[in-house]
Chain A
């Protein structure tokens, strides 16, 4: 029962993951890009789930800003890979301290297990 901030620019993906999380009993705050996510991040957010490649504020930038403002906030980064060097971003954010990274399409069980663990 934790509050999860879900950031993804793709409506269908966001809808899907939100539904997955809601069904698992989490409260989901959605943001369609990094800028909105920064507005909506609040004290009661337990975990951030963020896409990596997004308009306005890129995932890596968002990640860096969240970690700067809230060093203890767990962040799970998901990515479909692609673009140039997207996979590098994934390992970069991992190196920068992302608590977990997942590739799309998701391994739901592992994803939910990680969210629960980090929220707990």
Chain B
């Protein structure tokens, strides 16, 4: 069952616009930094006075500034540290609301400054020296032009400390503002980033799930394809078997008179009759046809489950010994056979037939250059784990007979036809194309399965799964009364 895969489209687009939002937030933050900095600079410089480091602070009340505010500013400075401040006009005039005061240079004053309404603006302290002074110049012409200039002159020490103070206040305020302004958007940005990160994680998890599921799907598709192929092949072979079985039945019937009557006629002829040799040829041909038909029938046969029990291990070992004699010396046959007997429902002659077929095919695949054939019987996998059974096999206990060679391999196209009767890649006369068909028939006839693996380059492996009989069943001795006719040439 395949789970539905829900791909979160909406989240994906959120994820995308989230990135854009973060980018916007970053830009906004930079903008805010810049603005804050500018603000700090403005605040710092927008002191009530223009500050110079030559020891003079000049406060100018320009045309729009009323004398009152000038005076207020003055009084703010002075009231902070009144004893320090003195009027010292350096011969200039301080034009005040209540009249013009003339001061002697260096003279200490105890001056009350009033505005035009008579309100006291400030009162000077008890100044002593003329080192510091405030010069207030104001020109008032009947209130028409309130512009005026007030010049504050005060000590350098004071100037620096005031400047630093102003800077500190200004930048402190600027920084505070910056922080304040930044905190909210920053928190928003952080929230956004967290959201995006968790979305990314979720998306990553989705992606992993999707990948896993698609891998599982692919594996499923592959397995189903393989199974369909196997089933299709089995159906094809079954159809062929039915067809060939019918043909074989007819031909075998026709062969009875041909072989038997020909033999009788031959035996009736005088020993020296010329036509005896011809009849021998007829008999040989008929027997050849009979032999092919027997192979065909072996392929089509579904065996009676109860007819034979043979020890696979012993049979295979004996067949290998038999085959090794006929195998070229540059081919090594390695065998991995268990010690214990392994009963299967096949005749010894059947096991011999299929083993000889497989070994001869392997040795043909290896060819001139030499190589190796490995024959293995396994009742279970490594460390005693059960055999990994092909999916189309009926559940049950199986023993696996494996014959593998390191020859040239079989390409995919030929693999699909390898069990077809009369299919052969060998030259005419070298093979009938029935060997593997017979092997197939023998194995599937007892409810087993035969599987061939090859990458088309480096060897071929045949895996035969035969239903395993429990050890308690003693091999029954069955008289082989249906032994085929002898194959004399």
Chain A contacts to B: CB under 8 angstroms: 10, 12-13, 15-17, 19-20, 23, 53, 79-88, 90-92, 94-95, 100-108, 110, 114
Which B163-201 residues sit within 8 Å CB-CB of chain A?
none
Q: Of A19, A83, A100, A106, which contacts B485 at CB under 8 A? A: A106
Shortest CB distance A21–B (Å): 11
- B300 to chain A: which residues have CB within 8 Å? 81-82, 87
Contacts A87-B302, A103-B297; A82 near B250 (Cβ below 8 A): yes
Shortest CB distance B295–A (Å): 11
A13 touches B253 (CB 8 A): yes
A82 touches B249 (CB 8 A): yes
A104 touches B256 (CB 8 A): yes
19 inter-chain pairs at a CB distance below 8 angstroms, sorted by A residue, are A10-B256, A12-B257, A15-B257, A53-B249, A81-B293, A81-B300, A82-B252, A83-B246, A86-B249, A87-B303, A88-B303, A94-B307, A95-B304, A103-B297, A103-B484, A104-B256, A105-B260, A105-B485, A107-B483
Contacts A95-B304, A95-B307, A105-B290; A20 near B249 (Cβ below 8 A): no
Contacts A92-B304, A95-B304, A95-B307; A105 near B252 (Cβ below 8 A): yes
- B297 to chain A: which residues have CB within 8 Å? 81-82, 87, 103
Known contacts A80-B251, A82-B300; 15 further A-B pairs (Cβ under 8 A): A10-B253, A13-B253, A17-B260, A23-B264, A81-B297, A82-B245, A90-B482, A94-B307, A103-B482, A103-B484, A105-B255, A107-B484, A108-B260, A110-B483, A110-B485
Shortest CB distance A109–B (Å): 8
A16 touches B260 (CB 8 A): yes
Chain B contacts to A: CB under 8 angstroms: 242, 245-261, 263-264, 286-287, 290, 293-294, 297, 300-304, 306-307, 481-486
Shortest CB distance B468–A (Å): 21
A91 to B301, CA, bound (A): 11
A80 touches B252 (CB 8 A): yes
Shortest CB distance B285–A (Å): 12
- A83 to chain B: which residues have CB within 8 Å? 245-246, 249
- B245 to chain A: which residues have CB within 8 Å? 81-84, 86-87
- B256 to chain A: which residues have CB within 8 Å? 10, 12-13, 16-17, 80, 104-106
- B301 to chain A: which residues have CB within 8 Å? 81, 87-88
- B303 to chain A: which residues have CB within 8 Å? 87-88, 91
- B304 to chain A: which residues have CB within 8 Å? 88, 91-92, 95
Shortest CB distance B434–A (Å): 14
Q: Of A19, A82, A95, which contacts B247 at CB under 8 A? A: A82
A10 to B257, CA, bound (A): 10
By beta carbon, the residue of chain A nearest B304 is A91
A17 to B256, CA, bound (A): 8
A85 to B247, CA, bound (A): 14
A105 to B291, CA, bound (A): 9
Contacts A80-B248, A87-B297, A95-B306; A19 near B482 (Cβ below 8 A): no
Shortest CB distance B439–A (Å): 16
- A80 to chain B: which residues have CB within 8 Å? 248-253, 256
Shortest CB distance B245–A (Å): 4
B294 touches A103 (CB 8 A): yes
By beta carbon, the residue of chain A nearest B290 is A105
By beta carbon, the residue of chain B nearest A82 is B249
- B261 to chain A: which residues have CB within 8 Å? 16, 19
A62 to B325, CA, bound (A): 47
A85 to B484, CA, bound (A): 18
- B290 to chain A: which residues have CB within 8 Å? 105
- A105 to chain B: which residues have CB within 8 Å? 252, 255-256, 258-260, 286-287, 290, 485
By beta carbon, the residue of chain B nearest A51 is B253
B286 touches A82 (CB 8 A): no
Shortest CB distance B74–A (Å): 127
Shortest CB distance B270–A (Å): 17
A53 to B302, CA, bound (A): 17
By beta carbon, the residue of chain A nearest B243 is A82
By beta carbon, the residue of chain A nearest B255 is A105
Shortest CB distance A86–B (Å): 6
- A107 to chain B: which residues have CB within 8 Å? 483-486
A91 to B347, CA, bound (A): 13
B242 touches A84 (CB 8 A): yes
- B246 to chain A: which residues have CB within 8 Å? 82-83
A80 to B259, CA, bound (A): 14
- B481 to chain A: which residues have CB within 8 Å? 94, 100-102, 114
A91 touches B307 (CB 8 A): yes
B486 touches A104 (CB 8 A): no
By beta carbon, the residue of chain B nearest A12 is B257
Shortest CB distance B268–A (Å): 10
